[in-house]
Structure 1
Amino acid sequence: MSVARLPVEVDDRESKRAKGMASPILRFSDEDKVGTIQPHDDALVITLRIRGYNVKRVLVDQGSAVEVMYPDLYKGLKLRPEDLTAYDSPLVSFEGKIVISKGPIRLPIQTGSDIVEVDFIMVDTYSPYTAIVARLWLHALGAVSSILHQRVKYPSEGQVKEVIGDQAMARQCMVSAISRRPSIEPSTSTENGL
């Protein structure tokens, strides 16, 4: 059985016409897969310019409601506890554990010539990623991400611009995350060679 692949489109022209400016259509096609390893199940990991620094190992997670910063980025940006504001809502980690945040901080993210300010929540826990950008960043930029195509596309200056994912980095992050997992005790059937 063959499945036809249709391009993913987001047509924002109606709202832009109301404002008097046309916006390009954001779409993904098979051409966007050129240069990627296919098939794959890699996460979308990119490099972003945050607070004036090129930051690698940033996970794009459109399923997340908050942007998260991990200790590597916090230390790399030379932030101090007084830079964070009070915050008492717990977060749930990938493993389902409750993580208490150290607090939020608003930081600029530059993508090409576009700059959006994002509230990151600082959590003091291990992650192979330096940060997670989520729906708020995507929405502020007017962006659409595609894990399959390993790209984030966004309208800027009447054109479609893009940030391309780094599959090698995504795979390194996955290996790092797996190697840090606690070992699982074998079940009875495994011990008996079954």
Structure 2
Amino acid sequence: MVEDLLKAGHLKQYVRTMPKGEGSSHGRGPRAPAAPVRAVINYINGGPLDDEYSSKRKRQRLLRATTVWEHVSSIQPGLANWGIHPINGTIVFPTMDPARVLQPHRDALILTLGVGDFDVKRILVNPGSSADLLLVAVIKQMGFIPSNLENPRRTLSEFNGSSTTSLGDVTLPVQAGPVILNVLFFIVEDLSPFNAILGRTWLHEMKVIPSTYHQMVSFITQDKQINLYKSQLAARQCYQIAREAEPNADREHSPKEANASDQ
């Protein structure tokens, strides 16, 4: 993708032409390839408007968004054809490590996973959801233009009867340990305080067993059992953000209200 952009005359400001002989390995050993740098997406709340960017910046963002969209549009949901795949097997959760998990707790499962070319934080693992959801602010950070999303205005219903309308859907590769699964995400306006929700579609395709008690998800590959631990601190930060967003967070709750707010 980058090579095509360079051939088209773009990204010149990032290219340095080496003088003759500088790239020669004479007298020196081969250079190790540099590790790719992955951007990290934390929880996003607001941000600069497009009007605050210069016209040059807008053109660069549009070019990048178009290129990313062409690449992602070719991705199909399901496991990647190459690499390591999860398999069926018996999963045994390890003995509880008191240094890793503080007990007792009521914390949800919050993971950081690779989504596309980014490390996305605050992803809720929710077996109660049949859909995988992604916050629109996240795909904006990735370079997508929400108006270009496919299949807009899908109705997503919750158990309590309320519903929301998605802005569209997009398939993105999600990396959990050594396994990459192409996930169909429904894009929504608000998931506060989460960036994404991974539901039964992801759990079943990955053959993942989640344990809120152990604060981890586990699955098996041909080589070994993979255990992905979550951060209790991140879960409690998300809970605090949600509590502060409530209109009457300071008032006392009845037992029924307290139970509902912990869901």
Closer, same or farther: CA 131–103 of 1 in aligned 2, 3 Å: same
Which of the residues 232, 245, 250 maps onto 1:180? 245
In the alignment, structure 1 residue 110 sits paired with structure 2 residue 175: yes
* Contact residue 136 and residue 146 of structure 2 kept, 8 A: no
**Higher Cα radius of gyration:** 2
Q: Distance in 2 between matches of 1:124 and 1:23?
A: 36
List structure 1 runs of 4+ shifted beyond 6 angstroms: 184-187
Paired residue secondary structure (2:167): strand
Q: Which amino acid aligns with 2:243?
A: I
Paired residue secondary structure (1:139): helix
In the alignment, structure 1 residue 128 sits paired with structure 2 residue 190: no
* Contact residue 87 and residue 102 of structure 1 kept, 8 A: yes
Displacement of 1:30 in angstroms is 3.8
* Contact residue 175 and residue 181 of structure 2 kept, 8 A: yes
Displacement of 1:90 in angstroms is 1.6
Closer, same or farther: CA 72–96 of 1 in aligned 2, 3 Å: farther
Q: Distance in 2 between matches of 1:84 and 1:181?
A: 31
Q: Distance in 2 between matches of 1:186 and 1:54?
A: 37
Normalised by the size of structure 1, how large is the TM-score?
Answer: 0.76
Q: Distance in 1 between matches of 2:151 and 2:206?
A: 27
Q: Which runs of 5+ in 1 are unaligned?
A: 1-21, 188-194
Displacement of 1:33 in angstroms is 6.2
In the alignment, structure 1 residue 140 sits paired with structure 2 residue 214: no
Q: Distance in 2 between matches of 1:25 and 1:186?
A: 46
* Contact residue 216 and residue 227 of structure 2 kept, 8 A: yes
Superposed, 1:39-118 pairs within 5 Å as 39-92=104-157, 97-118=162-183
**Would you tell me which structure has more strand in proportion to its own residues?**
1
Aligned CA RMSD, in angstroms, stands at: 2.5
Q: Distance in 2 between matches of 1:127 and 1:160?
A: 32
* Contact residue 25 and residue 160 of structure 1 kept, 8 A: no
Q: Which amino acid aligns with 1:66?
A: A
Q: Distance in 1 between matches of 2:218 and 2:251?
A: 45
Which of the residues 96, 118, 130 maps onto 1:31? 96
Q: Distance in 2 between matches of 1:94 and 1:70?
A: 20
Q: Which amino acid aligns with 1:89?
A: R
Q: Deviations over 1:58-89 (max 9, x none)?
A: 00001100000113322221211254211433
Aligned residues: 166
Closer, same or farther: CA 24–126 of 1 in aligned 2, 3 Å: closer
Q: Distance in 2 between matches of 1:35 and 1:94?
A: 33
Q: Which residue of structure 2 aligns with residue 160 of structure 1?
A: 225
Superposed, 1:183-194 pairs within 5 Å as 183=248
Displacement of 1:32 in angstroms is 5.8
Sequence identity percentage: 31
